[in-house]
């Protein structure tokens, strides 16, 4: 089995990463997951959180607000709604999304409210990480 796999992270604004990594931790919609070389193929949606990568070039962390990940044995590609290095992120980056999510919770009911509550909680937790 290979020791590294290709990792690509793209947002609508730019490509943020394209490198060989040993491990990728990401916030999957159904829970956190880790991809490593040899992983079973999987496509998943992402929730707001931090993608952590470990590799020969060192460790890196990226904030994502959602998107999709395609994982295979040889590569992982992430198409993010919004992404940036955690070191470059501020609480102000997330405040408009938190306001919109708060409004969505107020307007939703039933299962839609549960999803909106989860989205809001994830965004608030992400803001705490960024605020440090």
Query: Which residues constitute the domain of residue 109?
Result: 90-131
Q: What are phi and psi of 32, to 5 degrees?
A: -65, 145
> For the chain, what is the domain count?
2
Claim to verify: residue 59 and residue 97 sit in the same structural domain? no
What pTM did the predictor assign?
A: 0.89
User: Digits of tens for pLDDT over the chain (132 positions)?
Assistant: 579 999 999 999 899 999 999 999 999 998 999 999 999 999 999 999 999 999 998 999 999 999 999 999 999 999 999 999 999 999 888 999 999 999 999 999 999 999 999 999 999 999 998 887
Claim to verify: residue 18 and residue 72 sit in the same structural domain? yes
Claim to verify: residue 108 and residue 67 sit in the same structural domain? no
Claim to verify: residue 36 and residue 77 sit in the same structural domain? yes
| Torsion of the alpha carbons at 99, 105, 111 and 117, rounded to the nearest 10 | 60
Claim to verify: residue 68 and residue 107 sit in the same structural domain? no
Spatial distance between the Cα atoms of 27 and 81, rounded to a whole number of angstroms: 13
Which of 65, 86, 107 delimits the end of a domain? 86
């Amino acid at each position: 089995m290979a020791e590294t796999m290709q990792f690509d992270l793209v947002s609508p604004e730019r490509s943020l990463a394209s490198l060989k990594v040993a491990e990728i931790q990401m916030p999957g919609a159904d829970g956190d997951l880790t991809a490593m070389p040899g992983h079973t193929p999987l496509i998943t949606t992402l929730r707001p959180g931090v993608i952590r990568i470990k590799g020969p070039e060192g460790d890196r962390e990226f904030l994502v607000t959602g998107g999709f990940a395609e994982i295979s044995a040889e590569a992982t590609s992430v198409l993010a709604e919004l992404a940036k290095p955690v070191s470059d992120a501020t609480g102000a980056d997330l405040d408009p999304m938190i306001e919109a999510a708060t409004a969505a919770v107020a307007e939703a009911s039933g299962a839609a409210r549960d999803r909106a509550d989860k989205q809001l909680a994830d965004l608030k937790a992400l803001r705490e990480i960024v605020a440090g």
